[in-house]
Chains A and B, each alone.
Chain A
Amino acid sequence: MATLNLRHIKKSFGPTHVLHGVDLDVRDGEMIVIVGASGCGKSTLLRIVAGLETASSGDVIINGQNVTPLEPADRDVAMVFQNYALYPHMSVFQNMAYGLKIRGMPRDKIIKRVDEAAKLLGIGALLERKPRQLSGGQRQRVAMGRAIVREPKLFLFDEPLSNLDAKLRVQMRAEIRQLQKRLGVTSLFVTHDQVEAMTLGDRLVVMHAGHAAQIATPMEIWEKPADTYVAGFIGSPSMNFLPATLIQGGGAAQLDTNGLILPFADGPRAGEAGRKLTLGIRPEHLRIGQGGLELLVDLVEPLGGESVLHGKLPDGTPLTARLQGATYADGQMGVILPLEWLHVFDGETGKRIEAGA
């Protein structure tokens, strides 16, 4: 149980800057998911919290204590690795007991703790086996058991589900969430999978090129993404982006593709007429209708109750729509953009522009 504060964490490897100053405050018992594409610095951030890397500058504070100069062994954190990193020459029991033995816990207490954790994870029957005799899912559970018995201040997960097959991944996702809620341990979970992020996190940290692009609850991120990167990253299929220009008065935008004028449903935006904008609309919010955009559909993906339609606008801009039903075919189609679902971003910086801003 602990709080975690990251103060302006920067990290460079030689000339390469990986983290540009990340700030984060985590409440006790919270599950924070750090999500982003490869190379965005998320694993580096996690390893800095663990003590496996040293930040070039900035502080890591666990429960009010600045642990930045401390070795991993002294931080009282536990980590579940992507490849599980179980000790190959030790049995499952010994793997889980290792950390406790080091801390000098008496043997009977160790046995009790390991048994409890094993029961919680359903691996009681595997205690005498060696890691090479276990399946991927079993190894993952042992890795988690190793973390649980320590009763640490923080759980750190480094993409633990990436090496599992799809079905197992979904199952383990739910189990991890339930476990974390039950034990109430503050956790950081790193993943590149936005579905995992949305379903697991109390709050998300969306990382982009070494910056925390947005830190908010999953729904806030989905409803009000802070910039075009976050908007395009969360949500599948990705949000559609259309270049546009701000119209006189700031109350509407004019699409570059066909001159269509879209008034803002929630109020005017600040700025000169002619200010470049990027408008966003999620595929699931497009509707069939006339008076909006002309979409030439060239690929229909039937998903059962819904279909995803891929196509192009007359000027070549790609557009994706997700519509109910299964009765779609290639060809021309009119789509309209419901104004209440429109997202407005600055055309140059990509940052979200709220009404009145």
Chain B
Amino acid sequence: MEKKVYFRGIALPYFLLLPQLIITGLFFFWPAGQAVYQSFLREDAFGLSSTFVGFENFADVLSDPTWLQSALRTLLFSSSVAVLALGFALFLAVQADKHIRGANTYKTLLIWPYAVAPAIAAVLWLFMFHPSIGLFGRMLNGMGIPWDYKLNGNQAMLLIILAAAWKQVSYNFIFFLAGLQSIPKAVLEAASIDGARPMRRFWTVVFPLLSPTAFFLLVVNLVYAFFDTFGIIHSLTQGGPGKATETLIYRVYTDGVMNLNFGSSAAQSVILMILVVCLTVVQFRYVERKVHY
């Protein structure tokens, strides 16, 4: 992936590269390095000095049962969000790809929710499911189902899963639609002539050809669920009730910003970093191998 023809000179390119390098250095590598460094430190009780403690912070975090619970919760949360957001988006993309009147209008109407911030999505869902002012919240309570996500941990989890998935469907929809449209029409026609009915065509031709897109989206959705959902949790439940909706990223926030436990928070950050890097690497490897055209 190189250009064969290029311009001479090295002063100019360095100059052009400089802004990004400076910003990346100052605001990415330096803090990331700090995070790693801090993860090996522990502050004393007064916050006056820190000692190097090696991997102790990591050991503490990984053996902390509440952290492990948080990890499991995050797993549950992320997979639910991913499955819901991907499933819905695929279904809608398949419908929108059919040649019906107004297809373009439907597509426009299903794309714009991408603009909604996770935090705002949370607020919208709050308006709907608030136990006393929300339309559905009141409906549920009226039907005899005691609905209050401020008190019921499972309901809180359900609410953030729904809000998070709702927000992400649009993004997945765009990619699935593009993926569907990149399948040459003639290949589906050939399948049709070979005797395949729509259902069979979908499972034997369309879905396999969509798999690179689907895998890419899976990783993106998982990363989204891990990190970008901070806003949703912070607006809706603040990790509560109790710790019912505290995901790993929220813990980093509470431990670092609220409890000022920098060492532990940094260690948690580093663990998350490693996780994301692994996911991204896996994704690149897989997608490279599976692209067909």
Does A103 sit within 8 A of B, measured CB to CB?
yes
**Once the chains bind, are B190 and A87 in contact (CB under 8 Å)?**
yes
**Once the chains bind, are B192 and A89 in contact (CB under 8 Å)?**
no
Residues 151-192 of chain B, each 1 if its beta carbon lies under 8 Å from chain A, else 0? 000000000000000000000000000000000101101111
**Once the chains bind, are A99 and B205 in contact (CB under 8 Å)?**
no
Residues of B within 8 A of A (CB): 184, 186-187, 189-197, 200, 204-205, 208-209, 292-293
**Once the chains bind, are B193 and A50 in contact (CB under 8 Å)?**
yes
Given A81-B186, A87-B187, A89-B209, CB of A150 within 8 Å of CB of B192 = no
Does A111 sit within 8 A of B, measured CB to CB?
no
**Once the chains bind, are A72 and B187 in contact (CB under 8 Å)?**
no
Residues of chain B within 8 A of A150, CB atoms compared: 194
Give the CA-CA distance A86 to B183 in the complex, in Å: 11
Does A357 sit within 8 A of B, measured CB to CB?
no
Given A83-B184, A88-B209, A88-B292, CB of A73 within 8 Å of CB of B196 = yes
**Once the chains bind, are B189 and A52 in contact (CB under 8 Å)?**
yes
**Once the chains bind, are B192 and A99 in contact (CB under 8 Å)?**
no
Does A102 sit within 8 A of B, measured CB to CB?
yes
Smallest CB gap from A96: residue in B? B194
Residues of chain A within 8 A of B189, CB atoms compared: 50, 52, 72, 79, 81, 85
**Can you report 7 residue pairs joining A to B where beta carbons are below 8 Å apart?**
A50-B189, A50-B193, A72-B189, A73-B196, A87-B205, A88-B209, A99-B195
**Once the chains bind, are B193 and A78 in contact (CB under 8 Å)?**
yes
| Shortest beta-carbon distance from A76 to chain B in Å | 9
Residues 72-98 of chain A, each 1 if its beta carbon lies under 8 Å from chain B, else 0? 110001110111011111000000001
Give the CA-CA distance A11 to B293 in the complex, in Å: 34
Q: Which of B194, B196, B208 contacts A89 (CB 8 A)?
A: B208
B interface, over-half SS? helix
**Once the chains bind, are A85 and B187 in contact (CB under 8 Å)?**
yes
Does A71 sit within 8 A of B, measured CB to CB?
yes
**Once the chains bind, are A86 and B187 in contact (CB under 8 Å)?**
yes
| Shortest beta-carbon distance from A75 to chain B in Å | 8
Give the CA-CA distance A73 to B188 in the complex, in Å: 12
**Once the chains bind, are A71 and B208 in contact (CB under 8 Å)?**
no
**Once the chains bind, are A72 and B292 in contact (CB under 8 Å)?**
no
Given A89-B292, A102-B200, CB of A73 within 8 Å of CB of B193 = yes
Residues of chain A within 8 A of B204, CB atoms compared: 98
Smallest CB gap from A143: residue in B? B190
**Once the chains bind, are B293 and A132 in contact (CB under 8 Å)?**
yes
| Shortest beta-carbon distance from B132 to chain A in Å | 53
7 tightest CB-CB pairs across the interface, nearest first?
Answer: A99-B194, A85-B186, A88-B292, A85-B190, A102-B195, A73-B195, A89-B208
Does A282 sit within 8 A of B, measured CB to CB?
no
Does A146 sit within 8 A of B, measured CB to CB?
yes
A72-B189, A79-B189, A98-B194 given; name 16 further pairs at CB < 8 Å: A50-B193, A52-B192, A73-B196, A79-B190, A81-B190, A83-B184, A86-B187, A87-B187, A87-B190, A87-B191, A88-B187, A99-B194, A102-B195, A132-B292, A146-B190, A146-B194
Residues of chain B within 8 A of A99, CB atoms compared: 193-195
**Once the chains bind, are B192 and A71 in contact (CB under 8 Å)?**
yes
| Shortest beta-carbon distance from A31 to chain B in Å | 19
Residues of chain B within 8 A of A77, CB atoms compared: 193
| Shortest beta-carbon distance from B214 to chain A in Å | 13
Give the CA-CA distance A52 to B189 in the complex, in Å: 7
Residues of chain A within 8 A of B194, CB atoms compared: 73, 98-99, 102, 146, 150
Give the CA-CA distance A99 to B293 in the complex, in Å: 23
Most buried by A among B193, B197, B209: B193
Most buried by B among A77, A79, A89: A89
Most buried by A among B186, B190, B292: B190
Q: Which of A73, A88, A103, A130 contacts B192 (CB 8 A)?
A: A73
| Shortest beta-carbon distance from A101 to chain B in Å | 9
**Once the chains bind, are B292 and A102 in contact (CB under 8 Å)?**
no
Residues of chain B within 8 A of A50, CB atoms compared: 189, 193
Residues of chain A within 8 A of B209, CB atoms compared: 88-89
Residues of chain B within 8 A of A102, CB atoms compared: 194-196, 200
Give the CA-CA distance A78 to B292 in the complex, in Å: 25
| Shortest beta-carbon distance from B291 to chain A in Å | 10
**Once the chains bind, are A83 and B292 in contact (CB under 8 Å)?**
no
| Shortest beta-carbon distance from A133 to chain B in Å | 11
Give the CA-CA distance A231 to B142 in the complex, in Å: 83
Smallest CB gap from B197: residue in A? A73
| Shortest beta-carbon distance from A264 to chain B in Å | 50
- Residues in A22-54 with C-beta less than 8 Å from chain B: 50-52
